[in-house]
């Protein structure tokens, strides 16, 4: 057993001006003896688009997975919208979040996966309606209208009655984005959403994400290997190395004039691969 | 006596036996499905005691002989004050036995639904119950249908054992006819054919149809 952490050092909620939409405070995540996140501090402001890059195994995806509550953290606290996500208040103290509390907080977050993970037994439209109808309890007719709008927005309206097995990877990913948006999250997470796609369809997915950035006031966290895309879409780019942020800066700065040797090495290695 | 004359003379017994077998199989199948689903889900429960109850049930009914289980239900339970009529004892025995096998199919199928499906359901904030009902079970069903086809055929053939607690099923009637006429080949031969026809031309096509309509639901057909 690891020693219980003193949680009193963390505030019960974030107050004051400029409360970030997402805050990682000294977050550690370990798998056995392997440390994936090493006391990570990361803030994401409301409406900000932050991209995470870095070598594999640097903890990029774990940031998203802990924020989606797919993984528990070992130390630290994650805050979303000013309130703790991984913990909750009890008798004026922070304690690990209950399932019920997690469900309430999780509704603020949406996620898209590398392998889409659409529900194969449902059509594109049904995939988008599933959450609104069976989780939020929105009337079918209303959920349907909203889902159709979203499918229209991602350019999949004409395929709404197709099952995922009949759609290409790019089409499935666009439906998956619509499915996540249908839950009206405040924070959207994109976990290598173009990594499983054929090169010629990557553009149709990145174009949808571009639209989200320009038309929606969403806070977004994205893990990607598309450096060009990260460069022209992000407000800020974080270079991860061994579970920590090695360097973070606006994209022009991080790509144009990286301060850290490790960042430089990584960027030049990526450039060579292209 | 020609085979035709044999059928005319004993057809009514064989027919009534067939009906009893079919009915017993149908009720047993219903019981086996309910038990398999319940025990299979219980095996995946977070709470230890819930899992243990299911494990004991599965271990006991898979690990001991169906015939002895039938004897227990029919001859021993009355000693503890629980008397069941032959037919009820028969279908409970067969249903519980095959339900134990089915539970492992249910459990295996649920666990083989890809992890990404569980995570996607969590990402749209589904409760564990809704996730199981709406996302996981429908996909697990597709995975487990083919092995269930085998299991149901096993169950049909297993029902022959209820003749030993004198349920008047197909096997029981064939034995009766054999005892009175000594026409063993005709009596048991006919029974064999009837079992085969029920398995091959009723259960198998039914399962194929189910598999096809499930595949259509997945948009694969």
The total number of structural domains that make up chain A: 1
Question: Residue A92 is encoded by which pair of tokens?
Answer: 């004026």
Query: pLDDT-derived band of residue B219, with 50, 70 and 90 as boundaries?
Result: low
- The answer to whether residue A120 neighbours chain B at the CB level (below 8 Å) is yes
Of the candidates B122, B217, B219, the beta carbon closest to that of A70 is on: B122
Question: What's residue A61's pLDDT?
Answer: 94
pLDDT tens digits along A59-88: 999 999 999 999 999 999 999 999 999 999
Q: Are A192 and A223 in contact (CB under 8 A)?
A: yes
Residues of chain A above pLDDT 70, percent: 98
CB contact under 8 A, B120 and A164: no
C-alpha dist (Å) from residue A254 to A214, A238, A251, A262: 22, 8, 5, 12
Question: What's residue A3's pLDDT?
Answer: 62
Q: Are A73 and A29 in contact (CB under 8 A)?
A: yes
Question: What's residue B9's pLDDT?
Answer: 87
Q: Are B125 and A69 in contact (CB under 8 A)?
A: no
Range A227-241 average pLDDT: 93
Mean pLDDT computed over every residue of chain B: 93
pLDDT tens digits along B11-21: 899 999 999 99
> Which residue does chain B place closest to A106, by CA atoms?
B125
- The answer to whether residue A118 neighbours chain B at the CB level (below 8 Å) is yes
Give the domain range for residue A130. 119-184
Q: Which residues of B touch A117 (CB under 8 A)?
A: 114, 116-117, 119-120
Question: What's residue B2's pLDDT?
Answer: 87
- The answer to whether residue A135 neighbours chain B at the CB level (below 8 Å) is yes
**B221 has a pLDDT exceeding 90:** no
Mutate to test the interface with A, among B124, B129, B139, B214 (most CBs of A within 10 A): B124
Range A105-129 average pLDDT: 96
Q: Are B116 and A113 in contact (CB under 8 A)?
A: yes
Q: What is the CATH number of the domain that holds B115?
A: 1.10.3720.10
Range B56-64 average pLDDT: 95
Identify whether A267 is part of a domain.
no
Identify whether A171 is part of a domain.
yes
B133 Cα to chain A: minimum distance (Å):
11
Range B112-127 average pLDDT: 96
Give the domain range for residue B168. 3-217
Query: How many CB pairs below 8 A link A and B?
Result: 69
Identify whether A251 is part of a domain.
no
Question: What's residue A119's pLDDT?
Answer: 96
> Which residue does chain A place closest to B139, by CA atoms?
A121
Identify whether A237 is part of a domain.
no
Identify whether A170 is part of a domain.
yes
Range A129-158 average pLDDT: 96
Range A113-121 average pLDDT: 96
Mean pLDDT computed over every residue of chain A: 93
Mutate to test the interface with B, among A121, A137, A180 (most CBs of B within 10 A): A121
pLDDT tens digits along A162-196: 999 999 999 999 999 999 999 999 999 999 999 99
Which region holds residue B166: left if phi is over 0, alpha if psi is between -120 and 50, else beta? left
Identify whether A176 is part of a domain.
yes
Cα separation, B128 vs A106, in Å, equals: 14
Question: What's residue B220's pLDDT?
Answer: 62
B219 Cα to chain A: minimum distance (Å):
5
The total number of structural domains that make up chain B: 1
**A236 has a pLDDT exceeding 60:** yes
**B4 has a pLDDT exceeding 70:** yes
Query: pLDDT-derived band of residue A17, with 50, 70 and 90 as boundaries?
Result: confident
A252 Cα to chain B: minimum distance (Å):
32
Identify whether A265 is part of a domain.
no
**B1 has a pLDDT exceeding 90:** no
Per the listing, tokens 């988008």 go with: A128
Question: What's residue A182's pLDDT?
Answer: 96
CB contact under 8 A, B139 and A120: yes
Question: What's residue A1's pLDDT?
Answer: 47
Of the candidates B125, B135, B219, the beta carbon closest to that of A165 is on: B219
| pTM of the predicted model as reported, rounded to 2 decimal places | 0.89
pLDDT tens digits along B168-209: 999 999 999 999 999 899 899 999 999 999 999 999 999 999
- The answer to whether residue A131 neighbours chain B at the CB level (below 8 Å) is yes
B214 Cα to chain A: minimum distance (Å):
9
Cα separation, A41 vs A77, in Å, equals: 10
Identify whether A165 is part of a domain.
yes
């Amino acid at each position: 057993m690891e020693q219980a952490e003193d949680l009193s050092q963390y505030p019960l909620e974030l107050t004051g001006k400029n409360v970030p939409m997402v805050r990682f405070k000294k977050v550690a995540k370990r798998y056995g003896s392997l440390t994936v996140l090493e006391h990570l501090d990361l803030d994401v402001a409301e409406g900000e688009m932050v991209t995470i890059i870095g070598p594999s195994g640097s903890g990029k995806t774990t940031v998203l997975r802990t924020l989606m509550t797919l993984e528990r953290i070992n130390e630290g606290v994650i805050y979303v919208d000013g309130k703790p996500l991984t913990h909750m208040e009890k008798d004026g103290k922070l304690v690990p979040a209950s399932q019920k509390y997690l469900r309430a907080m999780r509704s603020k977050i949406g996620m898209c996966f590398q392998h889409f993970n659409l529900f194969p037994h449902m059509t594109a439209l049904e995939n988008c309606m599933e959450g609104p109808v069976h989780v939020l309890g929105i009337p079918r007719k209303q959920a349907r209208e909203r889902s159709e709008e979203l499918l229209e927005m991602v350019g999949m309206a004409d395929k709404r009655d197709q099952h995922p097995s009949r759609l290409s990877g790019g089409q499935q990913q666009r439906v998956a984005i619509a499915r996540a948006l249908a839950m009206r999250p405040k924070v959207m997470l994109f976990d290598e959403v173009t990594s499983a796609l054929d090169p010629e369809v990557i553009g149709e997915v990145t174009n949808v994400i571009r639209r989200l950035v320009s038309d929606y006031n969403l806070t977004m966290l994205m893990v990607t290997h598309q450096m060009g895309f990260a460069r022209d879409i992000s407000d800020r780019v974080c270079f991860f190395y061994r579970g920590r942020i090695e360097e973070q800066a606006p994209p022009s700065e991080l790509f144009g004039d990286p301060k850290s040797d490790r960042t430089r090495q990584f960027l030049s290695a990526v450039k060579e691969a292209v | 006596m020609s085979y035709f004359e044999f059928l005319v003379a004993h057809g009514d017994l064989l027919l009534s036996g067939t009906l009893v077998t079919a009915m017993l199989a149908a009720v047993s199948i219903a019981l086996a499905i309910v038990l398999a689903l319940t025990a299979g889900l219980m095996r995946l429960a977070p709470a230890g005691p819930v899992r243990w109850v299911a494990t004991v049930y599965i271990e006991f009914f898979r690990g001991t002989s169906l015939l002895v289980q039938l004897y227990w239900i029919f001859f021993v339970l009355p000693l503890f004050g629980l008397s069941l009529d032959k037919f009820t004892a028969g279908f409970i025995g067969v249903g519980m036995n095959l339900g134990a096998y089915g539970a492992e199919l249910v459990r295996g199928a649920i666990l083989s639904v890809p992890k990404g499906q569980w995570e996607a359901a969590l990402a749209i904030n589904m409760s564990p119950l809704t996730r199981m009902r709406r996302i996981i079970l429908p996909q697990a069903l597709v995975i487990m249908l083919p092995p269930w086809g085998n299991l149901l055929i096993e169950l049909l053939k297993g029902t022959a054992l209820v003749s030993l607690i004198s349920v008047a099923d197909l096997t029981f009637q064939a034995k009766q006819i054999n005892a009175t006429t000594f026409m063993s080949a005709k009596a048991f031969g006919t029974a064999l054919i009837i079992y085969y026809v029920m398995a091959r031309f009723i259960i198998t096509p039914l399962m194929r149809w189910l598999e096809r309509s499930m595949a259509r639901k997945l948009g694969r057909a």
